[in-house]
Chains A and B, each alone.
Chain A
Amino acid sequence: NAGVTQTPKFQVLKTGQSMTLQCAQDMNHEYMSWYRQDPGMGLRLIHYSVGAGITDQGEVPNGYNVSRSTTEDFPLRLLSAAPSQTSVYFCASSSRPGSYNEQFFGPGTRLTVL
């Protein structure tokens, strides 16, 4: 199993550009989520999904969109990038919503917005 994979690993955008961060998992996990990691702030939840077709907002959702058309994929879209979105983004998954099973994190995407 590859676990949780993310692409790209690095990305530089100009203010106002759009892009999609890709996330996939091959563990048949129902729950998937996106976090951003900023210095001194830990990781903060952006959006999450409890299954295909179901998404909801986390702590810091503004400026980001998500969709979940399949169990495996959970892309994160930035419609108009801003410098404040410069961060490292992590996708995570776990088997069942409401379970205490481990949440697995991907390797991250480092995004810089100029």
Chain B
Amino acid sequence: QQQVKQSPQSLIVQKGGIPIINCAYENTAFDYFPWYQQFPGKGPALLIAIRPDVSEKKEGRFTISFNKSAKQFSLHIMDSQPGDSATYFCAASIMGAQKLVFGQGTRLTINP
């Protein structure tokens, strides 16, 4: 079964819009929630990560919102740009950033 469920599968947004990608998890033992960005032909790269002791984390134009009671977290991209077009993966792990359980991925397209 998929321990981390990600939606939507694909998303198209106009430049300057705010795409939102959502993830839900089952295992309450997860204590690390990263988002990875992947460009075609490349490996995933860490974008931003959050621990469950905070409800929000911002890094530049990227924000993670975390709802521990609902077991959900989401990625928001402010002032989106065509260069943000990529596949985004949420993930979760227990006691460290190593054994990651990934969501299914979201292909994001930002139109000029």
Chain A residues with a Cβ under 8 A of chain B: 4, 31, 33, 35, 40-45, 48, 58-59, 90, 92, 94, 97-108
Contact A42:B89 (CB < 8 A) given known A100-B51, A107-B43? yes
CB contact between A90 and one of B4, B9, B41, B44 (< 8 Å): that residue: B44
- Give the Cβ gap from B110 to chain A, nearest Cβ, in Å: 21
- Give the Cβ gap from B80 to chain A, nearest Cβ, in Å: 22
Q: How many residues of B contact A (CB 8 A)?
A: 26
**Stretch from B14-22, B57-65, B69-77, B95-103 forming part of the interface with A:** B95-103
A59 and B2 CA atoms in complex are apart in Å by 11
Interface residue B30 (Cβ < 8 Å from any Cβ of A): no
Contact A43:B97 (CB < 8 A) given known A105-B43, A105-B45, A107-B42? no
Q: Mark B25-46, 1 if CB is under 8 A from A, else 0.
A: 0000000100010000111111
Q: How many A-B residue pairs have CB under 8 A?
A: 68
A33 and B49 CA atoms in complex are apart in Å by 19
A103–B104 touching, CB < 8 Å = no
Q: Tell me which residues across on chain B come within 8 A of A98, comparing CB atoms.
A: 95-96, 98
With most chain A CB atoms within 10 A of its CB, the pick from B43, B89, B95, B99 is B43
Residue of B nearest to A95 (CB): B97
A99–B102 touching, CB < 8 Å = no
Known interface pairs A43-B91, A44-B102, A108-B43; 10 further A-B residue pairs with C-beta atoms within 8 A, sorted by A's residue number: A4-B43, A41-B104, A42-B6, A42-B89, A42-B102, A45-B101, A48-B99, A105-B43, A107-B41, A107-B42
